Amino acid sequence: MSLFLALFATGIGAGILGALLGLGGGIFLVPALTLLFQLPIRVAVGTSLMGVIATSAAVGAVESPGRGADIGLALRLEMSTAAGAITGGLLAGWISPRSLYLIFALVVFLTGAYELSKGYKAHAQKGDSRSSEVLFAADYVPSHWVLGLSLAFLAGMVSGLLGVGGGFIKVPVMDAVMGVPLGVAAATSNFMVGITAAASFFVYYNRGDIYPFLVLPTSLGVLLGAMLGFSLIPHLRAAWLRLVLVGLMFLMGIHMILQGLGYSGR
């Protein structure tokens, strides 16, 4: 029971942090599971994937299903993203655990840098006359499909390899590469993330990296934490919150580097 509660609490924390940054809880959950519970990274990633699915469910619970999302775009991109997720799940079985730790650390640092750049752009554009109608504009035609589908495959592969949502890749790809309005891109990514995670989850399940006694409390915690996090967002100041959470991400990245170099802290 104590393990159940500890995993449940860890899931709540990861879900809250992920929701506050607009990321899947996996970016926080995988390092927490390896650090606090000494789980092998493949088991932590498999457990995290179910947490990503739970986060997607939480998004659906607090927002109207598909609100703002381009469903047609999502379904076309998801064919490539799901293929990438399955590929990433298979690669995770071949890559050494130490290499997985180092790859995860790299992704954490890149995600942290992306989040800081988002905060800088938001500050620079404060007072901009653009409204939500621009963010969710309907008069757009997605372009550069070959590059977009290729990068969607990469996003799926990162998700399947590391147990994260991959939205930090999908959103910029849709916005900057394919010409999709930012609000639509974010909503479309949220719609896709659970499907992407489910595709690779079954790879981990078939390989024996999924343990129900770990997945159940963690996923329930992430689901609750994500819903709590979404409810907290309107009451918190985004600028300092982003800095604190990105700082925490960098600390977790350092932990993953140490794990990859063989310094487990045991």
Instruction: Give the start-to-end residue ranges of the domains of the chain.
Output: 2-260
> What is the per-residue pLDDT for 119?
61
Residue 75: is its pLDDT beyond 90? yes
| CA 184 from centre of chain | 17
- Residue with more model confidence, 48 or 129: 48
Cα separation, 192 vs 69, in Å, equals 10
Nearest to 19 by CA among 68, 52, 65, 46: 52
> What is the per-residue pLDDT for 238?
65
pTM of model > 0.85? yes
- pLDDT tier, 131 (very low <50, low <70, confident <90, very high otherwise): very low
- Residue with more model confidence, 218 or 236: 218
- Residue with more model confidence, 165 or 87: 87
Nearest to 24 by CA among 7, 47, 41, 5: 47
The tens digit of pLDDT for each residue in 167-197 reads 888 988 998 899 998 888 888 888 898 899 9
Percent of the chain exceeding pLDDT 70 equals: 86
| CA 236 from centre of chain | 21
Residue 121: is its pLDDT beyond 60? no
* N residues, the chain: 266
